[in-house]
Amino acid sequence: MAEKSAGGAQVKVRLTDNLRAVVQAAAASRGVSMNSEIVERLQRSLERETGSGDVFDNPLTAAIAKLIAAAMHETGRAAGFAATSSLDGSVDWFANPYAYDQAVRAANRVLEMLRPEGEIKPPTGHPYHDVLGVGFANTILEDATTGQSRTVNSLQRAQALHRELEPLVETIRKNLRTFPFSMLMIQAGSKEAPVTAVLTNPKKEDQP
């Protein structure tokens, strides 16, 4: 049962000895109280669930994302250590060009192993079918660099990504300048309504 106090509601929670030890160690490493550690972790968990819930509604999408993340994590750590001969290099593999490249190769390998059989047939009547994927990726990346979104439904996701990717925001922003266009997905009515992809801020050579 929750008890009200000046600082908010107090909720009594039972933790196993092992979980308590893990939380205590995590709090000590950041120099905060166990209460702050628990509250912040719970808040981040709920924000991720709310911000990315629509993405992971499909269990298969979630499983593929986990598969890619596992491949990049394991490869990046190993490559980071190999490149620097240090534990710091293993942890910060995303800052090492060689380790990052190997992690990307691991992710690509996973995606290629999941590729369905058959001929790739672009849709007719869509002027930007060749760059559709890059356009939508750019949109999400742009949202992550600003914490803002051009669609209300993606705002919480953008804010969460901006916080979580804070060390990489400047790198993303810099790299986006090389291909500055994005796709905006518009969905009218209900979830069953057709989805339309609209090109925004295109380069001159991409304009119809």
Give the model's pLDDT for residue 151.
73
Q: With contact defined as beta carbons under 8 Å apart, do 110 and 68 qualify?
A: yes
DSSP symbols for 144-181: HHHT--SSGGGHHHHHHHHHHTGGGHHHHHHHHTTS--
Give the model's pLDDT for residue 199.
55
Tell me the angle at which helices 59-84 and 97-113 cross, rounded to the nearest 10 degrees: 150
Cα separations (Å) of 74 from 104, 107, 114, 153? Answer: 12, 11, 19, 33
Residues paired with 4 in a beta bridge: 9
Give the model's pLDDT for residue 7.
61
- The domain spans of the chain are 3-52, 59-113, 129-206
Estimate the share of the chain in helix, then strand, then coil, as percent rounded to the nearest 5.
60, 10, 30
| Sign, Cα dihedral of 140, 67, 107, 130 | negative
Q: What is the pTM of this model?
A: 0.65
Residues in the chain: 208
Give the pairing of strands 3-5 and 195-200: unpaired
CA 83 to chain centre: 26
- With a cut of 50, list the residues of the chain below it in pLDDT: 1-2, 186-190, 192-195, 203-208
Based on its alpha-carbon atoms, the radius of gyration of the chain, rounded to whole angstroms, reads 21
- Token pair in block for residue 165: 């990717």
